[in-house]
Amino acid sequence: MDRLRVAIIGAGVSGLVAVKTCLEEGLEPVCFEKEHELGGLWVYRDEVGSDPRGPAGIYKGLITNVSKEMMAFSDFSFPRHAPPYLTSDDVVQYLQSYAEHFDLMKHVHFNTSVVEVTKSQDYEKTGRWNVCTQSQGEEPKTESFDAVMMCSGIYTSGNIPDYPGMSGFKGQIRHSGQFRGGKEFMDKTIVVVGSCHSAGDVAVLSTSHAKKVYLSLRDGAWIVPRLVAKQPADVWANRRWIHLVPPWLYERLLNLNIKSMQDWKTLGIQKSLPPSNSSIMMNDELPMKIMSGQVVVRSGLERFEGSKVIFDDGSSLEDVDYVVFATGYNPKIYMKDDVISGSSSQLDLYLHVVPPRLEHPTLAAIGYVMTRGTLGPTAELQSRFAVKMFKKELQLPSASEMLADVKRRRDAVLQQYNEDKPKIHPTKYNDELAKAIGARPSFWNLLVSDPKLAYRFFFGPAFPSWFRLVGPHSKPDARRRILQSGDDLIHGITLRTVRPRALSRLEGLQGGRMLSIKLVAACVFVLSLAVMFWS
């Protein structure tokens, strides 16, 4: 049997792992990347497009919101000397090392844009696709493929809401995707609109250049630092035991914890919805920028009048030079709307991967999700799922069942966040994909064969390495990587040796508290086993 030939659109995080997964499963990947290098959005580029609705771009000063061990692919670690949080250069270097290690570069066609994807003439029989591409300086050409993996993601088209008077605004409109560090704002007055990560970053970084920075929040923002409980926030939050805690209890604990971090009312940023029903802004500096007056918080934007910006509480600002919208993105697809329908902010996809209305499961979307964590490991599992689907080693539900699943997930997000966006919790979602392909370890099997690992599986961070412990393409070093991930995470910054000294009374009390916490954790572990057994 001939190898299945798969077209992959994009050579960013999702595209690279898709190429690697195809090779791993014996398929022939052909990847098309419009830029001259790999890395996608992680590559910093000075040039800024004139269209404010253009694709996202990396800005100087960016630091990842997720830690390196949670960000790594399941079978390729970041260097031990790398710090826990990374710059965009660190990420690009990692992706280049990944591509070199698995010999992916020869499968990527750079400087080649995908113009359109259409069904082949014999699609009804074969499920094949025609992919029209155009390389720089050449005429468009069309090739036929057995399957297609869209890997350009959800950050390709900036979303800018329409406000009264915007067309007559005398200042300039920008999207956060055009932001490169803020030098263009030198001695200017700017208003940043938005309440998620990029809004906070743009506001903070612009204070080094702008005359005045205002942050417009329609309903506040919950701001969380990168370190929580003395460890990276994503390491703390992405653990499997959390999903067994009753939702009412987990939500109450989460809300109390986040509300205790800041004086939200004094900062003027408290939201009406609790943290469990809201998007989170990850930022370490913004609260102090607000307290020092370098960023001034205003209410939601309502309309424009000449160079004036008017807010929904009736207040206004005169002589505004720039308004920067950090208001999200819309996904881009390369085929007609009837192939993958959905809203402007997300597509109708079963498990966020499979278009349920197609006659043949030969098209997959990789990375079209918003996650409380990092995309890489999720895109990897989506790719592994998609390739198994292409090889017909997975049995998909009927179209009606898949559409019902799409609706169920969308309704759940609408109910929790009041937003129509493809949001997931990475631990739960990744486990779901891993279970479908046979790569999710069994807690009960681990409990019998390796109790130490079983404890880590249930209570420890859900590191990506767990999905190479068992199942297809498992790795013999997965157990070591799982147990070592905590040390690898901080290895790059623990360069100074702390000299031991006599145990103080305070340390003794703290040690006693830690022992009590461990005893409580052990009790919870036993009770959880009982609940899992009887359920």
Q: Which of 383, 408, 432 is the last residue of a domain?
A: 432
Q: How many domains does the chain have?
A: 3
User: Is residue 110 helix, strand or coil?
Assistant: coil
> What one-character DSSP code corresponds to residue 461?
B
**Which two three-digit tokens encode residue 231?**
């460890």
pLDDT band at 337 (very low <50, low <70, confident <90, very high): low
CB atoms within 10 A of CB 231: 16
Same-domain check for residues 344 and 309: no
Strands (E) across 22-145 are located at: 28-32, 108-109, 112-119, 129-135, 141-145
Same-domain check for residues 309 and 427: no
Q: What percent of the chain has pLDDT over 90?
A: 68
pLDDT band at 21 (very low <50, low <70, confident <90, very high): very high
Paired strand residues for 330: 157
Residue 451 within a domain: no
Lowest mean pLDDT across 25-39, 133-147, 152-166, 451-465? 152-166
Residue 237 within a domain: no
Residue 42 within a domain: yes
Residue 50 within a domain: yes
Higher pLDDT among residues 56 and 239, named by residue:
239
Looking at residue 281, which CATH number applies to its domain?
3.50.50.60
* Chain centroid to CA 525: 30
Burial label for 106, CB within 10 Å (0-12, 13-18, 19+), is exposed
Range of the domain at 533: 502-535
Q: Which of 327, 344, 374 is the last residue of a domain?
A: 327
From 338, 383, 387, 331, select the one nearest 361 (Cα to Cα).
387
How many angstroms separate the CA atoms of 54 and 102, rounded?
32
Same-domain check for residues 106 and 216: no
How many angstroms separate the CA atoms of 331 and 343, rounded?
10
How many angstroms separate the CA atoms of 252 and 149, rounded?
40
How many angstroms separate the CA atoms of 479 and 469, rounded?
7
Residue 170 within a domain: yes
**Which two three-digit tokens encode residue 192?**
């940043």
Would you say 420 and 413 are in contact if contact means Cβ atoms under 8 Å apart? yes
Would you say 446 and 529 are in contact if contact means Cβ atoms under 8 Å apart? no
pLDDT exceeds 60 at position 503: no
Same-domain check for residues 104 and 185: no
Q: What is the value of pTM for the model shown?
A: 0.91
Same-domain check for residues 150 and 269: no
Same-domain check for residues 148 and 164: no
**Which two three-digit tokens encode residue 174?**
């920008």
User: Is residue 103 helix, strand or coil?
Assistant: coil
How many angstroms separate the CA atoms of 43 and 87, rounded?
11
| 217-222-226-228 Cα dihedral, nearest 10 degrees | 170
Q: What is the pLDDT of residue 338?
A: 65
Residue 489 within a domain: no
Residue 463 within a domain: no
Q: Which of 383, 399, 432 is the last residue of a domain?
A: 432
Same-domain check for residues 9 and 83: yes
How many angstroms separate the CA atoms of 174 and 163, rounded?
14
Residue 248 within a domain: no
Same-domain check for residues 23 and 167: no
Same-domain check for residues 351 and 292: no
Q: What is the pLDDT of residue 169?
A: 96
What are 417-470's pLDDT values in tens digits? 888 888 999 999 999 999 999 999 999 999 999 999 999 999 999 999 999 999
pLDDT band at 508 (very low <50, low <70, confident <90, very high): low
At residue 64's C-alpha, the angle toward residues 342 and 231, to 5°, is 115
Same-domain check for residues 209 and 147: no
Average pLDDT, the chain: 89
At residue 264's C-alpha, the angle toward residues 298 and 243, to 5°, is 120
User: What is the average pLDDT across 314-320?
Assistant: 96
Same-domain check for residues 281 and 360: no
Higher pLDDT among residues 508 and 493, named by residue:
493
Same-domain check for residues 152 and 164: no
Q: What is the pLDDT of residue 346?
A: 77
